[in-house]
Amino acid sequence: MDLASSIGNVISEIRVQWQPKQIFISALITIVICCLGPTAALASPAQATFAGGCFWCMEHPFDELPGVTDTTSGYMGGTVEFPSYRQVSSGSTGHAEVVKVDYDTDLVSYETLLDTFWRNVDPLDGQGQFCDKGSQYRSIVFYHDDSQRQLAEDSKQAIDGLFEQPIATEILSAAAFYPAEDYHQDYYQTHPARYRLYRYGCGRDQRLAELWGPQSE
């Protein structure tokens, strides 16, 4: 048997051995797509992070958007690793209360998230948000890539012309995210009465109506 024939036989044997693996992988992919559906197979997950004062009040607006898959209250932008709520509330860590938004870019755009953010904050307040004052309550758009940065800057410039006062909201690069304690997560759902009382007492909806009209939240 010549060298060419020997090589040909080896290649054929490899193909025979590999074929079952190819069939198995193809079948597995087909099963995953069938079970999860085309939406799951084609999903394009992304993250966005926003600081808009008390994080209790920022989860709800984003949770209502089709395409948002999860929201998590937490802390970002400070110098202490794994800070506690007590530490952040003291204003000594440099963190802001934030909401991390997980979303499917095939179903909701970052521009829609930005619009939701702006209409749920007071962009003119550089000392905090509503009744909550301090650096931990400042309003910030934390961008995760250059595209988000550009869109955030464009949106800030767009709303700048709506008000006589300058926009105080910052646009910063996303840093380490630290989830808040469990009792803060989905607070508007787990403690609805307390949430509504806090929100009303803080004057949040009244101020948002002055800024954006009565459709906020």
Choose, from 34, 35, 54, 57, the residue flagged as catalytic. 54
Q: Which residues pair with 72 in a beta bridge?
A: 100
Apex 48 CA angle, 44 and 52, nearest 5: 155
The amino acid occupying position 81 is: E
CA distance 200 to 119: 17
The whole-angstrom separation of Cα 106 and Cα 68 is 11
Spatial separation of the C-alpha atoms in residues 134 and 96, rounded to whole Å: 9
Does the active-site annotation cover 54? yes
Q: How far apart are CA 91 and CA 136, in angstroms?
A: 6
| Among 102, 100, 120, residue whose Cα is nearest residue 169 | 120
Q: Which of 175, 172, 178, 174 is nearest to 81 (CA)?
A: 178
Which tokens go with 132?
């909550």
Return the exposure string of 178-201: e unless at least 16 CB atoms fall within 10 Å of the residue's CB, then b: bebeeebbbbbeeeeeebeebbee
Both tokens assigned to 178: 């630290």
Q: Which residues are catalytic?
A: 54
